[in-house]
Chains A and B, each alone.
Chain A
Amino acid sequence: MNEVKENQGFLDFAYQLYKTMKTNEINLVYEGEVTQEITKTFTSLTEKSLAKSAESNQVQRKVFNVMVECLQNISKHADSIDEGEEERRGIVMVSKGVESYSIITGNVIKNEKIPILQRNLEQVNSLNKDGLSDLYKKQIKEGRISDKGGAGLGLIDIAKKTGSKLSYQFKTLSETLSFFILTSTIKRT
């Protein structure tokens, strides 16, 4: 391999990435381990950059809120490609559009977990504001905090706070694994 050529390839990639991010107004991209420290860092970065912007407090709070739930979902539930790997990894992207913010997260998930997750997502998407509030109250009363520290309320909360349907996809990686992508949209007005 020619080192100069390789280097040039990387520079081109970095420039393309920069351009794509600028064009799509992507404020944050991350791929890697998602821990509580990472969650705190990203939410505080986003909080600071939003505080400098003219965004209303309500929208700022919602973006912060949804980011925390999305990141904590990854840090609690993500599976890994390598069997026995303890690290919980994922991708996180925050983009600002004319009308809304999008928070996109992705992580590896075992195929066996997809039916339950899909059922939960569909249930949440089928409900209006009052329906979500009822489901939230039911779940908070009946649910327990799992070993992982979740209360089974994250997706309901995201749907409640955003007032938008959860958009999601599963991309098959192998017979046992898929990649789960969740897009949460927060309207700016």
Chain B
Amino acid sequence: MEVINIKGTDDTPNVILDKANGIFEISGRSLPEDVNMFYEPILDWIDQYSEDPLAETVFNFKLEYFNTASSKVILDILLKFEEIFESNKAVIIKWHYQEDEEDMLEAGEEYADIVEIPFEYVVYND
């Protein structure tokens, strides 16, 4: 599969989707003007990946900030991995948050309430 490697900007996140090396990561900040346009290739990639996923997928979210329009798309991404998880493949979401960032931890917990995938919370310091 092709590798998606998008460098982050002021309003869009870093995205790495690399099946061969088992790297799945979205990090940085996400507040694009047109959320659908930015995330469309990412959602398409995941659709394609879900046809033949790895035995175990570890997806890292290390977001500093995301706007509410992005939060909806993040749920769409998680729902796609929920389907993979339900097809008896291991999926783990590693939700990173900065030490004092309770809002980001809560955001992760809210997603974990909605989707049936194991979440791990990882604290980091800059």
Task: Using A57-B101, A58-B100 as known contacts, say yes or no to A137 and B68 having CB atoms under 8 A apart.
Answer: no
- Give the contacts of A25-60 with B (CB-CB under 8 A): 36, 39-40, 44, 56-58
| A residues less than 8 Å from B31 (CB atoms) | 39, 68, 72
| A residues less than 8 Å from B34 (CB atoms) | 149
18 A-B pairs in the complex with CB atoms less than 8 angstroms apart: A36-B32, A36-B33, A56-B100, A57-B100, A58-B101, A58-B102, A58-B103, A62-B103, A65-B65, A68-B31, A69-B68, A133-B110, A140-B72, A149-B33, A153-B69, A153-B71, A157-B71, A160-B103
B90 at the interface (CB under 8 A from A): no
Please indicate which of the listed interface residues A36, A62, A156 has the most CB atoms of chain B within 10 Å of its own CB. A36
B74 to chain A: closest CB distance in Å?
9
A120 to chain B: closest CB distance in Å?
13
Interface, chain B (partner A; CB < 8 A): 10-11, 31-36, 65, 67-69, 71-73, 75, 98, 100-103, 106, 110, 113-114
A136 at the interface (CB under 8 A from B): yes
Nearest residue, chain A, Cβ from B98 = A57
Please determine whether B113 and A137 come into contact, CB atoms closer than 8 angstroms.
Answer: yes
Nearest residue, chain A, Cβ from B76 = A145
Taken together as a complex, chains A and B put the C-alpha atoms of A172 and B11 apart, in Å, by: 35
Taken together as a complex, chains A and B put the C-alpha atoms of A154 and B72 apart, in Å, by: 11
Contact partner, B36, options A39, A58, A149, Cβ 8 Å: A149
Please determine whether B114 and A150 come into contact, CB atoms closer than 8 angstroms.
Answer: no
A88 to chain B: closest CB distance in Å?
12
A143 at the interface (CB under 8 A from B): yes
Please determine whether B103 and A161 come into contact, CB atoms closer than 8 angstroms.
Answer: yes
Please determine whether A145 and B72 come into contact, CB atoms closer than 8 angstroms.
Answer: yes
Please determine whether B101 and A141 come into contact, CB atoms closer than 8 angstroms.
Answer: no
